[in-house]
Amino acid sequence: MVEHRIVAIPELREAGDIEEKGRFQGLPRTYIPNRNMIFYSMAASYAEEAGSDYIIGGHNAEDLNVFADAQPEFFRNFQTTLWSASKFLRNTRTTILRPLQHMSKSEVVARALRLGVPLGLTWSCHKEGNTHCWECEGCKGRISAFRLARIEDPLRIVPSQKKV
């Protein structure tokens, strides 16, 4: 059975929205404190509920250069924490996998295209709305990744250019 579950987490704030100056120096304005720990904790809860053997994350090599909670050390420690927090996860040895951790964003885009991933359904924008702003860090990173991969981004094709 395939289930897609959407979970709202409205109280998370980006570093750029937090008033205290200097606390997040050197991090992108879009950094959210402990974001990955929150996401992986939620994934672990679902994994226990669903009886999953794996929790799979999509971190790429660029994440490793910026975020402490995307580092191998974080995942080694967090894996131990998950097993100590849940008898089920410990007994089944539910494991966190990060298959993209050594790939650049452009390599991820190229691999996704080869695998038939519907890239037109992916989201990169950090701003609220129904369409990408094409100006925030997430959008600029997406533009760069598609350009470096030499792949046309299906979200940037003007409707009259789309092939029928």
Average pLDDT, the chain: 89
pLDDT for 154 equals 95
Q: Is the pLDDT of residue 104 over 60?
A: yes
Query: What percent of the chain lies above the pLDDT cut of 70?
Result: 94
Residue 51 Cα distances to 27, 86, 90, 133, angstroms:
36, 12, 12, 38
Q: How many other CB atoms are there within 10 angstroms of residue 128's CB atom? A: 6
55 forms bridges with which residues in the sheet?
96
What gap in Å lies between CA 24 and CA 89, rounded to an integer?
A: 33
Confidence of residue 162 (pLDDT cuts 50, 70, 90): low
Q: Is the pLDDT of residue 161 over 80?
A: no
Q: Is the pTM of this model over 0.75?
A: yes
Per residue in 22-33, pLDDT (tens digit) is 788 888 888 888
Averaged pLDDT for residues 122-128 = 88
Q: Is the pLDDT of residue 19 over 80?
A: no
89 and 44 Cβ atoms separated by less than 8 Å: yes
What structural domains does the chain harbor?
Answer: 1-103 (3.40.50.620), 104-164 (no CATH)
